[in-house]
Amino acid sequence: MDIPYSNQYKYISSIPLDEVKHYYSIDSTHHMADQKFIKSITNKTNFFFYTLKNLPSLTFWGVKLEALSEDSCTVATKYSFRNTNPFKSMYFAALCGSGELATGLLVMAHVSDRGKWSMLVTSFQANFFKKATGKIRFHCNEGARLSEKLTEIEQSAESTGTIFLKCNAINQEGIEVAAFEVTWSLKVK
């Protein structure tokens, strides 16, 4: 059913909760991402100061957060003098940092209201297919799988586990220029 964007919230609020739970397959073990964290970090000023304090190279390279939800994260950066290499394309470290950020923000959104967690990158694999010039978007769409894994970790005796998350880098023409697999080690503190 197509609902005009401006009216979709009015429509959703009129649906009985049981139907919403059935439609979205929500059960008692399903844990959604922290909406407070998402709202805060998607504020451009908050994101700028967060990266300036914690990940200053991303600020220098001009990495921007475009979208974050419980299902996915998209960050972007434009080719510029700040992230160039001698071959007139984007420096691989800027690409890798952006790919890691797309997966890391998704993890942070899912763990931020689940108590204290530690998270650490334990493995990183990158494949480069084409020169990265222009605006590059980095997409990680693994929120559902991540949520399941976090629930599994919470219910395990060790309270620890790893998950690898995929991220694709797409240029303005819709061509994949790179792909990343980031392995996160996660532990409930």
Show the domains of the chain with their CATH numbers.
33-188 (3.10.129.10)
Residues 151, 83: contact at Cβ < 8 Å? no
Residues 42, 68: contact at Cβ < 8 Å? yes
For the stretch 8-66, pLDDT in tens is: 333 334 444 444 333 333 343 445 677 888 898 999 999 999 999 999 999 999 999 99
For the stretch 148-168, pLDDT in tens is: 999 999 998 888 999 999 999
| pTM, 2 dp | 0.80
Question: What is the C-alpha separation between 63 and 25, in angstroms, rounded?
Answer: 34
